[in-house]
């Protein structure tokens, strides 16, 4: 990226939250954050001080598809930063005091998250979208139960099995010619050898049957709804068609749900979406969620309208101009985001973690731009209400009782989650 004063280095390691041992949610993110604190053998604070001298930041984290270290530095400091990253990645210190402090922060954060009403239905949709016990149905955030007894030995063992050159990608972005690092990254990381075979991520499969799950928050003035599923797509065209259909349903301001519920019904909170695609041995797996919130006393009417919009989109598909507008909006976002070094690296790294090649990542915008409306109509069938999971949280007295007949009409079970939301205890 000629002319850029800022450089970014992103190190992506294939195992992530989905590869965590059962009952160890959050340990992948903790390990990545530990690597970002520096290598063994450095005196306390010297690694961080050296980063500050370079004007650099270094963070570590993980999602379901992989672990990552991300560094941002002024271009002149890029060669020195690359030299620092290798020992941090290959032999992290994983200091016991830091581990205890990091676990305490994560546990405190998990308690704060429990106070936010959107987390419970969002976590439920992730769990309901996959078969029971699937690692992709976990949150990957972690809390007291999964992290309280984590120590250096446990993290070190995981590092030894997960972190190796065979399953690691290094992405460097910036003015590489100006700062003379065209081959420096290859030279720096090229000497990394690891005797342990690379860990293979588990296979993600969709759930067999959708379910509705209801969480009680007595006294809440609004209800939060999350709709979603995991869907197998045999090829790139079907994947792009489904992404466009979901975007048409709720992904941007002119989407169907934002027009119908926000503008026509006056549900002012609006809707938005998450869409994640992964390569599998038989094509692609798409995971999507639609988020919205409505006034508690309008929950039943809003849910009924939401289901009717989904049914109409699945049965008739979007109009041709609707498909072209949605696909065009998605396609236009890709080059716009790529103007930022950080966004470009983030998009590339996410695609690599999820099994896509660099060529496939580069083809994302052209595939969307050239998508035929017929492909969107075919993919939109996956949005039929009887194929979708729904989770919500709200006041049981605010219209939630009227939801069960809607689910029964679709032939779907309704599950009442145990316990009350923290909202009800405020």
Q: What is the pLDDT of residues 66-84, one digit of tens each?
A: 999 999 999 899 989 999 9
**pLDDT over threshold 90, residue 113:** no
pLDDT at 219: 87
DSSP 3-state assignment of 25? Answer: coil
H or E stretch including 8? Answer: strand 6-13
Bridge partner residues of 222 (DSSP): 295
- For the four alpha carbons of 41, 45, 47 and 50, in that order, the dihedral sign comes to negative
- CA atoms in the 13 A half-sphere facing the CB of 150: 35
**pLDDT over threshold 60, residue 424:** no
Read off the DSSP letter of residue 357. Answer: -
Give whichever of 125-139, 342-356, 409-423 has the largest mean pLDDT: 125-139
Q: How far is CA 95 from the centre of its chain?
A: 28
pLDDT at 268: 67
Q: Cβ(219)–Cβ(378) under 8 Å?
A: no
- CATH architecture of the domain with residue range 6-190: 2-Layer Sandwich (3.30)
Would you kindly state where each structural domain of the chain is located, as residue ranges? 6-190, 212-425
Count the Cβ atoms, other than its own, within 10 Å of residue 389: 24
Q: What is the pTM of this model?
A: 0.89
pLDDT at 420: 43
More confident residue, 255 or 194: 255
Reported as a single tens digit per residue, the pLDDT across 4-34 is 888 999 999 988 999 998 889 999 999 999 9
- CATH architecture of the domain with residue range 212-425: 2-Layer Sandwich (3.30)
Of 111-115, 214-218, 275-279, 381-385, the poorest mean pLDDT is in 111-115
Q: Cβ(293)–Cβ(223) under 8 Å?
A: yes
pLDDT at 43: 63
pLDDT at 74: 94
Give the pLDDT band of residue 337 (cuts 50, 70, 90): low
Q: Cβ(79)–Cβ(33) under 8 Å?
A: no
Dihedral-angle region of residue 302 (phi above 0 means left; psi in -120 to 50 means alpha; beta otherwise):
alpha
pLDDT at 426: 31
E strand intervals along 212-270:
212-216, 222-233
DSSP 106-153: HHHHHHHHHTSTTHHHHHHHHHHTS-TT-GGGS-S---HHHHTT--HH
Reported as a single tens digit per residue, the pLDDT across 249-264 is 999 999 999 999 888 8
Span 85-100, average pLDDT: 92
pLDDT at 239: 97
Give the pLDDT band of residue 335 (cuts 50, 70, 90): low
- Does this chain's domain 6-190 share its CATH topology with 212-425? yes
Q: 25 CB contacts (<8 Å, ≥6 apart)?
A: 17, 138, 139, 140, 141, 142, 143, 146, 147
| Complete edge-to-edge strand list for the sheet that includes strand 271-280 | 271-280, 283-295, 222-233, 389-394, 212-216, 414-420
Q: 180 CB contacts (<8 Å, ≥6 apart)?
A: 79
């Amino acid at each position: 990226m000629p002319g850029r004063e800022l450089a970014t280095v992103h190190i992506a390691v294939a195992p992530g939250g989905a590869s965590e041992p059962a009952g160890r949610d959050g340990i992948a993110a903790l390990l990545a954050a530990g690597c970002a604190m520096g290598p063994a053998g450095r005196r306390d604070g010297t690694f961080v001080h050296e980063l500050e001298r370079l004007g650099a930041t270094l963070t570590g984290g993980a999602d379901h598809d992989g672990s990552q270290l991300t560094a941002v530095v002024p271009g002149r400091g890029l060669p020195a930063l690359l030299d620092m990253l290798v020992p941090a990645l290959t032999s992290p210190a994983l200091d016991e005091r830091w581990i205890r402090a990091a676990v305490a922060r994560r546990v405190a954060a998990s308690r704060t998250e429990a106070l936010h009403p959107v987390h419970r239905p969002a976590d439920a949709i992730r769990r309901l979208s996959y078969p029971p016990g699937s690692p992709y149905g976990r949150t990957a955030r972690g809390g007291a139960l999964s992290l309280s007894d984590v120590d250096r030995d446990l993290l070190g063992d995981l590092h030894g099995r997960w972190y190796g050159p065979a399953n690691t990608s290094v992405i460097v972005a910036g003015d590489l010619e100006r700062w003379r690092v065209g081959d420096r990254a290859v030279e720096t990381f090229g000497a990394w050898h690891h005797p342990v075979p690379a860990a293979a991520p588990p296979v993600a499969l969709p759930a067999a049957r959708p379910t509705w799950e209801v969480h009680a928050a007595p006294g809440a003035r609004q209800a939060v709804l999350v709709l979603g599923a995991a869907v197998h797509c045999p090829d790139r065209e079907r994947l792009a068609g489904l992404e466009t259909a979901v975007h048409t349903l709720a992904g941007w301001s002119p989407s169907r749900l934002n027009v119908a519920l926000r503008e026509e019904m006056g549900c002012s909170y609006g809707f938005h979406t998450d869409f994640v695609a992964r390569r599998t041995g038989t094509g692609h797996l798409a995971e999507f969620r639609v988020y919205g919130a409505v006034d508690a006393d309008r929950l039943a009417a809003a849910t009924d309208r939401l289901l009717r919009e989904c049914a109409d989109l699945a049965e008739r598909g979007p109009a041709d101009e609707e498909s072209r507008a949605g696909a065009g909006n998605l396609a236009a976002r890709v080059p716009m985001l790529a103007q930022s070094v950080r966004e470009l690296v983030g998009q590339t790294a996410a695609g690599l973690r999820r099994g896509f090649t660099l060529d496939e990542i580069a083809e994302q915008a052209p595939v969307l731009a050239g998508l035929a409306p017929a492909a969107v109509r075919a993919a939109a069938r996956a949005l039929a209400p009887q194929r979708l999971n729904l989770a919500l949280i709200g006041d049981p007295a605010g219209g939630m009782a009227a939801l069960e007949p809607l689910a029964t009409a679709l032939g779907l079970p309704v599950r009442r989650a145990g316990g009350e939301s923290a909202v009800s205890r405020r």
